[in-house]
Every structure is written in C-alpha cells, then in structure tokens.
Amino acid sequence: MSNKSSFYGKVYRIVRKIPKGKVATYGQIAALCGSPKASRIVGSALHHNPEPVTVPCHRVVNRFGMLAPEFAFGGKEVQRKLLESEGVKVNDDYAVDLSEYLWDGIIQQ
C-alpha cells in the first residue's frame, strides 16, 4: 500500500466518525491524521471518496464553513441537501455556522 493510499485510508476512517448534524474542516481532518499542514491531500482524498454511501465526505467544509467546490460530492446543492437532511443549516452563501455545527474532533473509541 502506498503512502498516499494509506493516508487516504486514515482520512476515510476519521471522516466516518463525524456524527450526523456536525461538520469538520479539511484542516481538522489533517490534524487528526497527524499531518496538520496536509489539508490539500485531505481534500484530494475526500474528492476521490470510494464509498460515498458509507464515507460521509459531504460533512467536510473549508475553514470558513464553505461547502465544497462544484466538482466535489456532486456539487454544492447536493452537499447542501445532504447536510440539511442531517439537521445542518446551510446559508444562502453555501456556508455553515462553524460555531454551531463544528465537530469537536474527539474520536470515541
């Protein structure tokens, strides 16, 4: 297994732990992976999500709470619908209020 696929696997394991009704940031996932400056490769992993049904990558936003670019997760409208179905309010600018919805990042064992 390459370092890249190993890192991607770590990203997917963490993303699976984000609870419904919460979001995480790219940087938060990178930090939990032990590579706090690797948010770009985290984004790459999320956008190549091999199991969209079981790996809820739509719950990851940028550091400002903005939803993913149009090319990811089926686009901003799809991501909005998925988040809103889980109780996360998305504003008209395609952003979520991180003070309300940010996951604390504590991984329960």
Rounded average pLDDT over 94-105: 96
Of 86 and 49, more confident: 86
* Contacts with 72 (C-beta within 8 Å, 6 or more apart), sequence order: 46, 47, 57, 79
- Cα Rg of the chain, angstroms: 13
pTM score: 0.89
Catalytic residue annotation: 57
State the pLDDT at residue 106.
Answer: 77
The fraction of the chain above a pLDDT of 70, given in percent, is 92
Q: With respect to CATH, is domain 3-101 assigned 1.10.10.10? A: yes
Domain residue ranges of the chain, discontinuous segments joined by +: 3-101
Sign of the dihedral defined by the CA atoms of residues 82, 23, 74, 64, in that order:
positive
